[in-house]
Structure formats: structure tokens, C-alpha cells
Chain A
């Protein structure tokens, strides 16, 4: 509601530390067997808002162990597809994950089927501490008896997630005063503790420094080896470095799909992206300031 006046001074330590890949191993130590049937299968997905066709018959298959990037100009329908999968936008067609039909289910049930997502603007609970944020994310399956009691200690999965996203030192600070990149990491941590098997990340590295992007990319790659990860991203450099496969969307349709190299060589993709096939040199620094409005970002 109202921003409370008590958190005016950002007291985040500078040496809050980066991500901890070793701790991630602990998080994803769970047997891979559990994920065997996990794959996302979207068939003929259509999303229409008041006559405007935002997504027009999209087919998409993402298997476990893939790190799929969704790219496309603004308005191509990337975020809308994520919204449709998670029940936020009404859609027709079929969306299956791990043999479970997702379309038509309320959002919280879709989440319980193993689907987790983040939002373009990091949305964490500002007034709650980092620890409380993660604890809530871990607790969707808790019974009333546990809910009505005070949290004692730190649950092990939360501890491991804190380590993984490098927020152990700031765990007792309100999440609202975290730096932007830390909030994004907190969101990834929340996905880990909620044990999402399909992770849908909407611009996870927006506003991060180059070093932070690097760390985040490696983290996502490692998670992607075990789980199904879909990333919506504008930042082409990030994509080139970490994408296992790419789906290019244009005006609500799939324009091209394949590895980074295949997609880059696709003449249709080149045409949509202002016809310039050359990768602009020296864009690294501008990309660091990638914002949702980065429509000028050209491949």
C-alpha cells in the first residue's frame, strides 16, 4: 500500500556477495527422476484482447535440460505467452506441462503443478525481509497448523536458496531496500524454494551489471540442465552467451526457432530486425542498461 517511511536509507552492504553456484548444487540435488516427464508443450495458443490478437496460434515445445530464450520486438507476444501459461491471460489452445493441462486452471493451481514465473519488474514483498519472502515462497503446501505458528529457524531449502542467490548476509533486511539486481536474484531464489520445475523468467537480467549478468546466466544454465527454463529477454549479448535454443516471435507468431546460430542466419529474422544482418559491435555497454523499452535493441 503506502511506502512506509522507515526504510528510507538503503543499508545494503556493498560486499553482499555474488551468486554461489556450489549452494545451487545443494538445491538441485534432488533426483533427476522427478523431472523425467517434464516438458512444456504448447499447441495452437491464441490470446485475444478485445479483438486484438496478441498471440496467434503459437506452437512451442521446450524440453527438460533446455534453456529456451523467447525473443522478438516489442508487442511480439513474449510476455503474453508467459501470462497465458500461468493463467493470467485468458487463452485458447492447449498448454501442457508434465502431462498436466494448464489452460483454464486458476493461477495458484498452475503454480502447484510446478510452474514458477517472475515478472518484468521485480515484484518482491517490499516490507517483508528477504528471509520472509523466501519462506513464503517455500510454503504453498503448508498446513494450517504450520501456518499459524511462528517460523522457527530457517528451513534448509531456504538456507540453500539464500546461499545460491548470495543474499545470506541481507536476509533480515526488508526486501524493498535491496538493489535492483538483488531483487531479481531474490525472485530466482523464490522460484528455487517453491521448487518450480518449469521456470518462466521475464527479463531476469534487466538492470544488472555485466558481472551480475554473467553470474545469473551461469546459474540459469545450471538450473536448465535439470529443469525446464524459458527466458524472455531483450538483451542479445546475454542471449548469445547463454541460450541453448531460441524462439523468435513476431506479431504473435513463431517466426523462427533453433540454436542461436540458426536463428541468426534465418533471413526472416534478419528482415524483422530492421534488415541488418551484422551484429553491431560495441553494444555491450548500452545493453547493460537494458530496459523494457529497449525496442531499439537490434539483432
Chain B
């Protein structure tokens, strides 16, 4: 049992939010940049890179769904936009200046459509990846949230969009590669993708981007905007009567989530070597959500860890027992939703409360009279027994 009264120097340091962020970043960097490349084979490392790309989508979902209350069931759309943009650029650069991507010669008339052309430029491609998914989400969000579409209706709408997007991609085989998607990339901005060193570099890029995204979300969560977003999630109407337009508040989170999904998709394509309608439709869109729900949607790290863990388990179990994974995923989802509605991350809070509850009766067993008021006084002056206050505060922040 840790005594709440003792405030050692490291503990005091730990309480400072900025310090905690930097410690978290350092730990993540050591694990992702040091440990993982050291212990994992090239094949496994590439798999991890893929999971990190999926985790980027999860980080965005954590913000939009966990903090903003928007059940985003169609993140595959933005993931797909990012992925296809990157894939188009890679196909074009593989074909060389003025060249035609191989699949167009195969299925089409061998002419590169005009809207493909700008993506020969790496700069345009990167900008488009950053702007297009977020812009699409912003327009869509404004249209939808202004009309006060929310809850299940918003979820269905976003899911329908993912379905439509996948169907569109399949239908336009001449320009999108159809069911096969875009694949067979040879280079990534001039670097040969067959070279293991470059593969490894892709992993490092993914790891760095993911850490940056988590830091961004963390900053957003503790900002005034983050507080407002939780307010909108819990009482949208009340926020309206404080002079805010909740639609704008939600659009920001939705656009950021879309941007993250787009970046995730853009890195997914070179890491995995293919992007196809099967990666962007309804099933993967739900898949993104499962990891977030299991990890703990309203917390900072829950979505990331949940997404990586679920993907890892999927790969591991599929290797051991083919076709068994779906049942396992379904069962896990049901169990978590039924018994841990806030995801595995809530176990941490549970454990902390246990500890706090265990410490309280053990302290002064002298007068059982004012047990009801004693913790109250302690929290009021915010001094000695900080466990309750801290808990209450973190509860407000993380749950």
C-alpha cells in the first residue's frame, strides 16, 4: 500500500502533466524504436508497422467517439482516401514520367485519367493526403451535424458511406483497380520497397507518426476544446444554450479523426503493399472500432493499445487456428461491452479505486463517526489525502 501522504520528488514530478507526457513519449519511443526492432524479425516488424497504421485510425476514433460521442462506423472511407491517394502516386511513379500504371493497360484503354495526373507530384500527394480526408469529413460533418443527426442515425449514415465507397471502388475497375485494388508497388518516394532497410524505415515512420498523433490527441484532450468536446458529448443541448454551436465542435474532432485515418491509410498502402476495397468497406470499418472499444474508447492509450492488441491477436490466432478468429473477436467484443463498457482501460481506474478504498479504512480506525465527512474534508482542502481528489479528477478527465 502506498501511503498517500508521502510525496517524494519523483511522485511530485509525476504529477506534473507535461512531465508525464514526455515520460510517456520516451517510453513509447524506447519500445517502438529500440525494443521492437531488436526482438522482432523483419516480417514481424512489418506486421507491427501495419498494426500501427490501423492504430492511427483508432487514435482518431478515440477522439471522435470516446471524447466526442460520435459513433464513427465509416472510418474506412477516410482510411481508403488516404490509402488510394498514396497508392496512386506510387503506381504513377513506378510507371515513370508520363507512364501508365500496369493495371490501366490491362483493364482500361491505357490512358491515365486527368484526375490521376496531379498525383505524379509527391508534394501534391502528401498535401492531398493531409487535406482531402479531413476536408471531406468537415463538409460531411457540417451537413450532418447542423441537421442534428446523431447517435445511431449518424452511425448508420457513416457506415452506409463506407459501403458506398467500397462499391464505387469495385465498380470503377479501369481507374481504381476494382476488387484487386492497387498493388505491386515497387518504390516509396524513390526508395526501393524490396529493400529490407527501406521497409524498416517505413516502420519507423509509422511509429513516429503514431506517437505524434497520440501527443496531439493528448494536447487536445486537456485543452479547453477537449473539455468542451466532452461537454458536447454529454449534453449537446446545454452547450448550445451556452452560446456554442455544437456542430462546429463536433466537426473539428470528426475532421481530425478523418485526417488521422487518412494518414494511417497512406502509410498502410506501402507497408502492406496493397490497398483494396476489402480494406475500406464496412467490415474493416467495424474492425477499427472493435479495438477501440476493447481498449477503452475515452482514454488516451486505450484505443492504440486495443487496436494493436486486437490486430496482433488476429494475426496470431489466424496462424494457429484458421477461421477461428472471427468467433474469438465476436466473443471478446461481447464480453467487453457487457462487463467492461469502458474497455480494458477501466481496469486501471478500478484498480486505483480499490487501492484508495483499501487505504482509507486502514488509516485511522479511531472514530467511526464522521466517516462520511472525513474524505470530504480531505478533498476540500486538497492537501493531505489527495487520493480521492486525484481519483475524482482523473475520472473526470479519462472516463
Chain A positions within 8 Å of B, measured between CB atoms, are: 1-2, 4-7, 9, 11-16, 86, 88, 106-108, 111-112, 116-117, 119, 123-129, 132-133, 135-137, 139-142, 146-151, 169-170, 172-174, 177, 190, 194
Contacts and interface: CB of A to CB of B under 8 A. Distances in A.
A146 B241 CA distance: 20
Interface stretch (B161-169, B179-187, B305-313, B370-378): B370-378
Interface in B349-380: 349-350, 353, 373, 375-377, 379-380
Contacts of A141: 243
B10 interface: no
Given A6-B349, A146-B224, A125 B245 contact: no
B227 A132 contact: yes
Contacts of B245: 106, 108
A128 B239 CA distance: 13
Contact of B230 (A117, A128, A146, A190): A128
Shortest 4 CB-CB contacts between residues of A and residues of B = A140-B243, A6-B395, A4-B399, A111-B243
B224 A149 contact: yes
A119 B241 CA distance: 10
Contacts of B393: 129, 172
Interface stretch (B56-64, B107-115, B384-392): B384-392
Interface of B: 69, 219-220, 222-225, 227-228, 230-231, 233-235, 237-245, 341-342, 346, 349-350, 353, 373, 375-377, 379-380, 382, 388-389, 391-396, 399
B240 A127 contact: no
A215 to B, nearest CB: 20
Given A6-B399, A13-B376, A127-B399, A150 B224 contact: yes
A149 B399 contact: no
Contact of A136 (B242, B346, B382): B242
Given A108-B244, A169-B380, A174 B235 contact: no
13 contacts: A5-B350, A108-B243, A108-B244, A112-B243, A125-B238, A126-B234, A127-B230, A127-B399, A139-B224, A146-B224, A147-B225, A151-B227, A172-B392
Nearest to B246: A108
Contacts of B222: 150
B247 to A, nearest CB: 9
Interface of B is mostly: helix
Contacts of A150: 219, 222-224
A281 B222 CA distance: 54
Contacts of B230: 125, 127-128
Contact of A173 (B346, B379, B394): B379
B353 A172 contact: no
Contacts of A151: 224, 227
Nearest to B231: A125
Contacts of A136: 224, 227-228, 231, 239, 242
Given A6-B392, A13-B377, 17 more contacts: A1-B69, A6-B399, A11-B375, A11-B392, A13-B373, A13-B380, A14-B373, A16-B380, A106-B245, A123-B235, A125-B231, A132-B231, A147-B228, A148-B223, A172-B382, A174-B392, A174-B396
Given A135-B227, A142-B224, A86 B242 contact: no
Contacts of B239: 136
A1 B293 CA distance: 14
A112 to B, nearest CB: 5
Interface of A is mostly: loop
B234 A1 contact: yes
Nearest to B225: A147
Contacts of B234: 1, 125-127
B242 A194 contact: yes
B228 A9 contact: no
B395 A7 contact: yes
A107 B346 CA distance: 36
Contacts of B220: 148
A128 B393 CA distance: 9
Nearest to B377: A13
A123 B380 contact: no
A204 B70 CA distance: 32
A1 B235 contact: no
B376 A11 contact: yes
A149 B223 CA distance: 5
B380 A128 contact: no
Most chain A CB within a 10 A radius of its CB, from B222, B244, B389, B394: B244
Contact of B228 (A15, A111, A139): A139
A141 B244 CA distance: 8
A107 B396 contact: no
B395 A108 contact: no
A149 B233 CA distance: 20
Contacts of A190: 242
A9 B235 contact: no
A152 B395 CA distance: 20
Nearest to B353: A6
A31 to B, nearest CB: 22
Contacts of A107: 240-241
Most chain A CB within a 10 A radius of its CB, from B240, B241, B349, B375: B241
Contacts of B243: 108, 111-112, 140-141, 194
B224 to A, nearest CB: 5
